[in-house]
Amino acid sequence: MEICTRRLLCSLILIVAVSVAYAAPVYHPPGSNLSAGDVSNGQSIISDITNPAASAVQLKNDGAHVQFGLISNIGIGFEYGQVDNVFDIIDEKAEAYSDGLRVTVPAFTGNPTNPGDVSQYIADIQQAIDIPVADINNVLATVAADGYGKVFGSMNLPLTPVVVGNDFLAGVLVFDASVSVATKAVGLYDSIDIDFADVQAQLLSGNTVLDLGEVDLDLSNPSDPLMKVTNDTTLLTRAAGVSEFALGYSRQLFRHEAGDLFGGLRAKYYRVGMAQAATRLGNLTDAEQLFQDARDAPLNYDSNFGLDLGVLWVSENYRLGATLMNLNAPTFRFSGLNVSGYSDGPIAHLLAQDYVYKMETQLKLEAALFSSNRQWAINAGLDANAVPDPFSDDYQWATLSAAYLTDSWWIPGARIGYRANLAGENMNYATLGATLFKVFNIDLARALNTVTIDGSRVPRGAMLNMGLELSF
C-alpha cells in the first residue's frame, strides 16, 4: 500500500508541475456537479454556469447581484485500468527484458555435424523459448488493452467565476478562467518475433549466444540458460490540458404562467498543451519512471475557440435544460515524437505521427424536480453522446442525485448520488457532497469498480472537489 501511495503522490506532483490543462474536463466534473450531476440547481456558482442559460434564473429570483468564487473549485482524482497489479506486472516484464529470463533448455549431447541431432536441438530450443515468450506476449497485450493509470486535477482561478446580473444588462454576464491537468500511462504492444532460420549455422560456428531476432539465448552456462528480449514494446505517457477563458451571457427569453424560458451562450478561448514521453519496456527501471518522463517532457501548445449554447425551462417545481458544448468542435494538433532508434514498424509510425485532439460537440440534458419549499431536489443528467478526452478515452455521463438545499448558515446542505460512464471504461461512482455555512462545498466520488494495486484491493477511481464562494 505504501508503494501505491508513493505512485499516486508522484502522479499528483506531475499535476502541479505541468500547470496548464483542460478546464471542466469530461472525465472530472467540477465542484458540486461531481455529486449533484451536471444540472442547474441554484445552490452553487459552478452548477449555475454549467448550462450557459442558468445564471439568468438568479437575476429573476433575486434581482441585481454579484457572485464570485474565492476558490470556487479545486479537485483531484485518479483512475486505474482493470488489470490487477498493473504496475507490478510492468516492473516484472521490464526486468525480464533488461536482466533476462531463465529458461530450461537441455544440454546438447548430439553430434554437431549430424543435421538430425542439430534439428532436434533447435526444436528443443524453440519449445523452451515459446512458453516464456507466449507468456510475455499475452501479458503485454492485456496491459496494452486494459492496463493504464490516469491522474488528473482541476481548479478555477481565484475569484472566478464572476457572475454579474442587473437590469441594465437585461441579463447576466459570466466570466470564468480555469485550469486543470491530466496524465495517463499506457502500453504500446509489439509482439516478440523469433527467427530460428540460422540457428544451425550459429551452433556449428560454436556460438554460445544465439541471435534469434528479437530474442538472444545465452547458452554459455548450459545448466542455466538466459533469454533476453529486445523489441519496441513501449510505455507511453501523455500529459494534456487546456487553459480556458470564458465569457458568457444569459437572459430570459420567454415568460408564461407555466414557466419561464432562459437562453445563454458562452464563448471560450482554449490554450491546449500536450506532453508526450515514450520509454521502451526494456529501458524501464520502475513504473514510477513513466510519470517522471512525462514531467520532464516539453509541452507543445495549440490554441482555438469554442462556443456553448444553452436553454433552460424553469417552472415552480421543476427545471428542464439542454446544453450544446463546443458547438464548433475545436481541433488541436501536436507534433509527434522522435523515433530514432525504433525499427520501422507500427509503434514507430504511431509515435511519429502528429497527435490530433478534437473537442467534439456534446449535447447535455438535465432535469430537476423540487419540493414545494424548494429545499429538496431530485436531479438527473444525461450526456446524449460520448466525446473523447485528450487521450481518446470516451466519456458519456449519466447521473442521478438527491439533494437538500439550504439557505441557512448553520444547517448544511447535502447531496448523494450515482454517476456512470456509459462509454469507454464504463466506470460507476457513488457520490456524496455537502455545503457548509452556505459558502464551502466538498464533494467525493468513489468508483464501485475495484482493482488490485500493490497487493491491496482499491477502487479503480476516486475524485475529490472543494470550493469556497460568495454572493451579494
Q: What are 24-55's pLDDT values in tens digits?
A: 688 889 999 999 998 987 778 888 888 999 99
pLDDT at 7: 42
Res 2 pLDDT > 60: no
* pLDDT-wise least confident of 141-150, 166-175, 317-326: 141-150
How much is the mean pLDDT over the chain?
85
Maximum average pLDDT range among 62-66, 73-77, 217-221, 226-230: 73-77
* pLDDT of res. 37: 92
- CB-hemisphere CA count at 13 Å for 204? 10
For the cut 90, the answer to whether the pLDDT of residue 322 exceeds it is: yes
The backbone torsions φ and ψ at residue 371, rounded to the nearest 5 degrees and listed phi first, read: -75, 170
Q: How far apart are CA 170 and CA 400, in angstroms?
A: 33
Cβ atoms of 253 and 267 closer than 8 Å: no
Q: Provide the pLDDT for residue 466.
A: 96
- Mode of pairing for the β-strands spanning 215-218 and 209-211: antiparallel
Per-residue confidence (pLDDT) for residue 295, from 0 to 100: 67
pLDDT at 272 (0 to 100)? 93
Pairing of strands 394-395, 215-218: unpaired
| Domain boundaries of the chain, sorted by first residue | 2-82+147-192+231-471
465 pLDDT exceeds 90?
A: yes
SS3 182: strand
H helix or E strand, kind and range, residue 237: strand 234-256
pLDDT of residue 331: 97
How far apart are the C-alpha atoms of 299 and 241, rounded to whole Å? 10
C-alpha cell at 236: 507511453
* Neighbouring-strand partners of residue 219: none
- Residue 8 pLDDT greater than 70, yes or no: no
pLDDT tens track for 183-223 = 888 888 888 888 888 887 887 788 888 898 888 888 888 77
Topology of domain 2-82+147-192+231-471, per CATH? Porin (2.40.160)
Q: How many helices (H) and strands (E) does the chain have?
A: 9, 25
pLDDT for res 269: 96
pLDDT tens by residue, 259-269: 999 999 999 99
Question: How do residues 212-260 score in pLDDT, each as one tens digit?
Answer: 888 888 888 877 788 888 888 888 888 887 799 999 999 999 999 889 9
The residue among 271 and 61 whose pLDDT is bigger is 271
pTM value? 0.84
Partners of 151 in beta bridges: 78, 183
